[in-house]
Amino acid sequence: MTTTDAASASASFSHSFSDRTRGEDREWLSTAVDLAWRCPPSPRAFNVGALIVDADDRELARGWSRDTDEHVHAEESALARLAPNHPRLPGATIYSSLEPCSVRKSRPATCTQLIIASGIRRVVFAWREPSLLVEDCQGAELLRDAGIEVVEMPEYEPLVKAANAHLFGEA
């Protein structure tokens, strides 16, 4: 096989892998968005769903905002269901309907910090957190700065906004 053939085969493989991953991302992110509808309503918090999926496309954990207490965030809830040193976390992806928080008043660690500490190397989310409750969320940037792959899928934004209509006077 020539160098050109090898490069072509590699590009072909990476293109098909990217397409397959994008399809899987859509399925898992749709589930995270659906989980946002399970959140008990709060006039001071977003409804967010999250799930963690291992490298073999198996769900490891899921959570949503306020599912265990009034202050728990979705990513925090999903991560809490796994041991901190779970062997599949470094190859896992966390899917969240909203950009992981970078500022937090109710807990000492933000969701961004929790994700970085977990060893997860990939985050997929639907909607960048608007400056409604927190000014200028930097979750995506902080995750990228930590070497984590971040994928934004803004086509899901309308669905996430609908799950959060209560914050925009539309409920």
Active-site amino acid positions: 75
The per-residue pLDDT for 13 is 30
Cβ neighbours of residue 77 closer than 8 Å, sequence gap 6 or more: 50, 63, 64, 65, 67, 68
**How many whole angstroms separate alpha carbon 21 and alpha carbon 103?**
30
- pLDDT tier, 9 (very low <50, low <70, confident <90, very high otherwise): very low
Residue range 98-143, pLDDT digits in tens: 999 998 888 889 999 999 999 999 999 999 887 667 777 888 999 9
pLDDT (tens digit, 9 = 90+) per residue, 69-109?
A: 999 999 999 999 999 899 999 999 999 999 999 988 888 89
Specify the pairing of strand 93-98 against strand 122-127.
parallel
pLDDT at 171: 55
